[in-house]
Amino acid sequence: MTILKSTTELEIMDRANRLVHEVLRAMEKAARPGVSTGELDELAERMILDGGGKPAFKGYRGYPATLCVSLNDVIVHGIPCRSTRLRNGDLVSVDCGVLLDGYYGDAAVTFPVGEVTAEARRLLEVTQGCLEDAVTHVRPGNRLGDVSAAVQQKAEAAGFGVVREFVGHGIGRSLHEEPQVPNYGVAGHGPILKEGLVIAIEPMVTCGNWRVRVDPDGWTARTEDGKLAAHFEYSVAVTTDGHRVLGLEE
Ligand code: MF3
Ligand code: CO
């Protein structure tokens, strides 16, 4: 059973996601060679608490930090650490979740530190494009498969891999609600999108194949072939006439 949200609830979720996007912008500004991922995490936690929220990931199934900071071949769930310093040429994914007034916000971006390769820049552009394309399919009456297929088509047309092992999700009073939102699928299939549904769409795209290996820490998820990965995420509400990307509009 998927949970549909009222306009009042969507306003709260918009505020939760606004705080998430403020944090993500601050992380991109703060990220330069020599800064540790642990320092970014501390800065993010302070911003979230000052904004009246709580870090959503900390303590979730034992996750130890506020952010996931995933460098280069790490796809998602990289654990921030005071001894991991950013270097020129790193590809950095920052994923942030906030609990505010009983509702969750969840979003992620990937950006370069200094100069990165042309392939890395193309991966960023394509992965963000996957998310933007997917969002255009969010409207009442469309099916979840339309959203998933849009991600897969754009990524694979570019010659990139689409990660299967992790998926997007419904979001609201819980960080993860139904339905699961895979980054692969068939247009015209799957559940019908209804007004008030909120889904976190989160394409994870790689320069190689889609296979994943998780480090002994139980979290850090890397590409098996060691190739670069990128990750973008928005929390998106189905509205009367289409969609609203929470935390980013006007
Ligand atoms: N955006 C990811 C998700 O929704 C981040 C979760 S990290 C975790 O699954 F630590 F909370 F699991
Ligand atoms: Co998510």
Describe the chain by its helix, strand, coil percentages, rounded to 5. Answer: 30, 30, 40
Contact 74, 59 (CB under 8 A): no
Ligand 1 pocket residue status of 177, Cβ below 6 Å: no
- Convert 46-110 into a string of H (helix), E (strand) and C (coil): HHHHHCCCEECCCCHHHCCCCEEEEECCEEECCCCCCCCECCCCCEEEEEEEEEECCEEEEEEEE
Alpha carbon dihedral 134, 138, 144, 148, in 10-degree steps, equals 0
Ligand 1 pocket residue status of 231, Cβ below 6 Å: no
Closest atom of ligand 1 relative to the 57 alpha carbon: 11
Closest ligand (CA of 96): 1
Report how far residue 59's alpha carbon sits from residue 80's, in angstroms, rounded to the nearest whole number: 14
Answer whether residue 1 shows pLDDT above 80: no
Answer whether residue 204 shows pLDDT above 90: yes
Predicted structure pTM score: 0.97
Answer whether residue 82 shows pLDDT above 90: yes
Question: pLDDT category, 4, cuts 50, 70, 90?
Answer: very high
Of the residues 57, 99, 199, which should be mutated to test ligand 1's pocket, given the most ligand atoms within 8 Å of the CB? Answer: 57
Report how far residue 119's alpha carbon sits from residue 70's, in angstroms, rounded to the nearest whole number: 18
Ligand 1 pocket residue status of 45, Cβ below 6 Å: no
Question: pLDDT category, 250, cuts 50, 70, 90?
Answer: confident
Of the residues 21, 77, 163, 219, which should be mutated to test ligand 1's pocket, given the most ligand atoms within 8 Å of the CB? Answer: 77
Instruction: Tell me what the mean pLDDT of segment 182-189 comes to.
Output: 98
Ligand 1 pocket residue status of 75, Cβ below 6 Å: no
Report how far residue 37's alpha carbon sits from residue 70's, in angstroms, rounded to the nearest whole number: 9
